[in-house]
């Protein structure tokens, strides 16, 4: 599946140039293939080696060949769930510890190594994959007990609200705005990419 900024045919051909082709691809295996192909086609740039390191941090191979677990997505969902915990009395300290662990899992404690721009772009991609998955998921856009579907514009608003919770509400509740600055920037960039408004 490709992330769409413009209409793209259903074919598996990725019409984008490098590095946009890499950041518009959802499938972990195809992302890896694009990265390896790019590294072969020219002298390896340091940024491509860093992209490979991030890819290896993000994806874990599963038993089935060419299938991968997106550990960053697991972290993102955990952060979304923490927004509920963080608002509860006496839960802030535990939520702060959990959030710190997840930020480390996302590679955000390696800012000097990866550069802020590279991390922001990967987090933007993560949010875009989350949005694309939610838009396709029948349960995410269903009404109570699965009866009926929410209209597409309301599903998009729900996605935007989730991104806001992770990038703005949670850091504010935990007093961790500095630690979450890359997550917030990636979230805002994803919303802009999708043409969704954000007020944070």
Query: Where is 193: in which H helix or E strand?
Result: helix 181-193
Q: How many residues does the chain have?
A: 200
- Secondary structure element (H or E) that encloses residue 22, with its range: helix 20-23
Based on the structure, what is the number of domains in the chain?
2
What pLDDT does residue 6 have? 46
**Alpha-helical segments (H) within 27-180:** 28-41, 46-58, 71-86, 92-105, 111-114, 116-136, 152-164, 170-174
If one counts every other C-beta atom within 10 angstroms of the C-beta of residue 144, the result is 6
The last residue of one of the domains, among 32, 53, 69, is: 69
Residue percentage of the chain with pLDDT more than 90: 66
Q: Is the pLDDT confidence value at 200 over 70?
A: yes
Tell me what the mean pLDDT of segment 186-195 comes to.
96
pLDDT at 43: 62
Q: What is the pLDDT of residue 146?
A: 57
Classify residue 4: in a domain, yes or no: no
Q: What is the mean pLDDT of residues 164-172?
A: 97
Secondary structure (3-state) at 75: helix
Tell me which of 10, 36, 69 is where a domain ends: 69
164 assigned to some structural domain: yes
Distance CA 103, CA 7 (A): 33
For residues 90 and 187, state if they share a domain.
Answer: yes
Q: Is 6 part of any domain?
A: no
- The per-residue pLDDT for 119 is 97
Are residue 48 and residue 34 in the same domain, yes or no? yes
Q: Which of 40-44, 102-106, 156-160 has the lowest mean pLDDT?
A: 40-44
- If pLDDT is split at 50, 70 and 90, which confidence band does 181 have? very high
pLDDT at 8 over 50: no
| Containing structural domain, residue 178 | 71-193
Residues 65 and 79 in one domain: no
- 138 lies in the same domain as 157: yes
Place of tokens 């006496």: 90
The answer as to whether 13 is a domain residue is no
> Which two three-digit tokens encode residue 115?
């550069």
Does 153 lie in the same domain as 98? yes
Q: Is 11 part of any domain?
A: no
Burial degree of 78 (CB within 10 A; 0-12, 13-18, 19+): middle
For residue range 122-156, list pLDDT tens digits in order. 999 999 999 999 998 888 877 655 566 778 888 99
Q: Do 31 and 76 fall into the same domain? A: no
127 and 184 fall within a common domain: yes
For residues 77 and 133, membership in a common domain is answered with yes
Residue 86 and residue 57 share a domain: no
Are 59 and 81 members of one domain? no
Distance CA 27, CA 136 (A): 15
- pLDDT in the model for residue 109: 87
Q: Is 5 inside any structural domain? A: no
Report in angstroms the alpha-carbon separations of 43 from 52, 74, 117.
Answer: 15, 34, 22
Same domain for 144 and 113?
A: yes
Distances (CA, A) of 125 to 27, 73, 91, 115: 12, 10, 30, 16
Q: Is residue 136 part of a domain?
A: yes
In this predicted structure, the answer to whether residue 36 has a pLDDT above a threshold of 50 is: yes
Does 65 share its domain with 83?
no
User: Does 15 score more than 70 pLDDT?
Assistant: yes
**Residue 179 covered by a domain:** yes
């Amino acid at each position: 599946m490709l992330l769409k900024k413009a209409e793209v045919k259903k074919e598996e051909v990725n019409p984008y140039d490098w590095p946009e082709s890499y950041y518009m691809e959802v499938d972990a295996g195809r992302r890896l293939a694009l990265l390896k192909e790019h590294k072969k086609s020219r002298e390896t740039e340091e940024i491509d080696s860093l992209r490979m390191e991030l890819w290896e941090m993000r994806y874990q191979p599963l038993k089935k060949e060419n299938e991968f677990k997106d550990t960053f997505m697991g972290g993102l969902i955990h952060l979304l769930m923490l927004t509920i915990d963080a608002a509860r009395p006496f839960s802030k300290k535990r939520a702060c510890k959990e959030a710190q662990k997840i930020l480390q899992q996302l590679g955000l404690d390696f800012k000097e190594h990866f550069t802020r721009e590279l991390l922001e772009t990967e987090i933007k991609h993560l949010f875009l994959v989350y949005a694309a998955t939610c838009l396709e998921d029948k349960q995410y856009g269903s009404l109570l007990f699965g009866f009926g579907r929410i209209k597409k514009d309301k599903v998009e608003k729900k996605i935007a609200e989730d991104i806001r919770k992770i990038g703005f509400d949670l850091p504010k509740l935990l007093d961790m705005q500095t630690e979450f600055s890359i997550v917030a920037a990636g979230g805002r960039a994803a919303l802009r990419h999708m043409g969704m408004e954000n007020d944070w």
